[in-house]
């Protein structure tokens, strides 16, 4: 069990919902992009009304198959703009999706409580100093800058353990940490720096991880983010992310039944309903 941004997760707590609010026009799922004050305000309020427990704000797309690297200044500006609006209109804890120390520091200075680092604190060496100073709650993703070979479950657990070591060295209590096995971020090739290279089939890797969540947990709550992702499009033959809602709900439902504690989603209302039913049926 852990407490993330003052919300208890894991153990006997209900499965929590994290709504995705992207401020990056280059994001893979265009429906999730909110750039104007009105859009950000309305989306945040709607997510709260629909039952989200957190809002995860992203300022730069990290989809491996897109070339989306922007300056830290631009990423930070987008995120801070959204944070100010969200804080004025909802009481939800805010998570910031970044793996860059300067962006994380700017967000934490504005009172953000959670850092969601898709590199598990490994991409930017200065991140350790920032989290040590502010001691936020953390979402740590499986990630490696080198090519990963071998059993996908074993390797995912190893990479998460490496991130936990960094967090421990940074004086972050393990009670403030959630793990994310990084669905969609293990690829043979990619255009950006934010993915882990593997030699095996990426689709099989993602499916294997989702089937074995309980063995990956290592006594930590686990967050799953599958909403509209590539593996769903690949299985269903649906290129357009707008056509992946039903596939996303099915994958989220199975993830809950396999042990997920937080579902990060573009579709708060539909996901909330699915998670509620899945939780009842998996007890």
For 48, the token pair is 């709260």
Whether 79 contacts 115, CB under 8 Å: no
Of 7-21, 29-43, 172-186, 238-252, least confident by mean pLDDT is 29-43
Q: Which residues pair with 4 in a beta bridge?
A: 7
| pLDDT greater than 60 at residue 38 | yes
Domain, as residue range, for 102 = 2-281
Question: Diameter of the chain by CA atoms?
Answer: 47
Q: What letter does residue 33 receive in the DSSP assignment?
A: B
How many distinct structural domains can be found in the chain? Answer: 1
Instruction: Give the list of residues 6+ apart from residue 108 with CB closer than 8 angstroms, or none.
Output: 115, 130, 134, 136
CB atoms within 10 A of CB 41: 17
Smallest CA-to-CA distance from 187 within 176, 200, 178 is with 200
Question: What's the pLDDT at 283?
Answer: 65
CB atoms within 10 A of CB 283: 5
Question: What's the pLDDT at 66?
Answer: 62
Residue 69: which pLDDT band, with cuts at 50, 70 and 90?
A: confident
Question: What's the pLDDT at 180?
Answer: 98
Whether 179 contacts 137, CB under 8 Å: no
Higher-pLDDT residue of 275 and 189 is: 275
- For 78-90, give one letter per residue: b (16+ CB within 10 A) or e: bbbbbbebbeebb
Domain with 149 in it: what CATH number? 3.20.20.20
Which helix (H) or strand (E) is 19 found in, with range?
Answer: strand 16-22
Whether 149 contacts 110, CB under 8 Å: no
Q: pTM for this structure?
A: 0.94
DSSP secondary structure string for all residues of 197-252: EBSS-HHHHHHHHHHTHHHH-TTS-BEE--TT-HHHHHHHT--SGGG-HHHHHHHH
C-alpha to C-alpha distance for 185 and 230, rounded to whole angstroms: 10
Instruction: Tell me the per-residue pLDDT of 1-29, one tens digit each, with 9 for 90 and over.
Output: 899 999 999 999 999 999 999 887 765 54
Residue 63: which pLDDT band, with cuts at 50, 70 and 90?
A: low
| pLDDT greater than 70 at residue 188 | yes
Question: What's the pLDDT at 179?
Answer: 98
Region 238-259: what's the mean pLDDT?
96
């Amino acid at each position: 069990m852990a407490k993330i941004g003052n919300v208890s997760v894991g153990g006997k707590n209900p499965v929590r919902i994290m709504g995705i609010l992207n401020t990056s026009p280059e994001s893979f799922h265009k429906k999730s992009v909110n750039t104007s004050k009105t859009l950000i305000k309305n989306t945040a309020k709607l997510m709260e009304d629909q039952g989200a427990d957190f809002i995860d704000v992203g300022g730069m797309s990290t989809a491996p198959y897109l070339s989306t690297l922007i300056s830290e200044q631009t990423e930070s500006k987008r995120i801070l703009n959204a944070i100010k609006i969200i804080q004025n209109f909802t009481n939800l804890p805010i998570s910031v999706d970044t793996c860059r120390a300067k962006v994380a520091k700017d967000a934490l200075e504005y009172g953000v409580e959670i850092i969601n680092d898709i590199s598990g604190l490994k991409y930017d060496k200065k991140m350790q100093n920032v989290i040590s100073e502010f001691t936020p709650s953390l979402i740590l993703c499986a990630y490696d800058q080198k090519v990963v070979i071998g059993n996908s479950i074993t390797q995912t657990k190893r990479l998460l353990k490496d991130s936990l070591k960094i967090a421990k060295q940074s004086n972050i209590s393990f009670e403030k940490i959630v793990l994310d096995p990084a669905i969609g971020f293990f690829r043979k090739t990619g255009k950006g720096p934010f993915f882990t290279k593997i030699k095996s089939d990426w689709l099989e890797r993602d499916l294997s991880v989702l089937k074995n969540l309980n063995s990956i947990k290592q006594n930590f709550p686990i967050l799953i983010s599958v909403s509209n992702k590539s593996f769903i499009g690949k299985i269903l033959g649906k290129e357009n992310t707008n056509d992946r809602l039903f596939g996303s709900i099915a994958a989220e439902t199975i993830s809950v039944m396999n042990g997920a504690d937080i579902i990060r989603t573009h579709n708060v209302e539909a996901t909330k309903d699915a998670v509620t039913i899945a939780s009842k049926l998996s007890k």
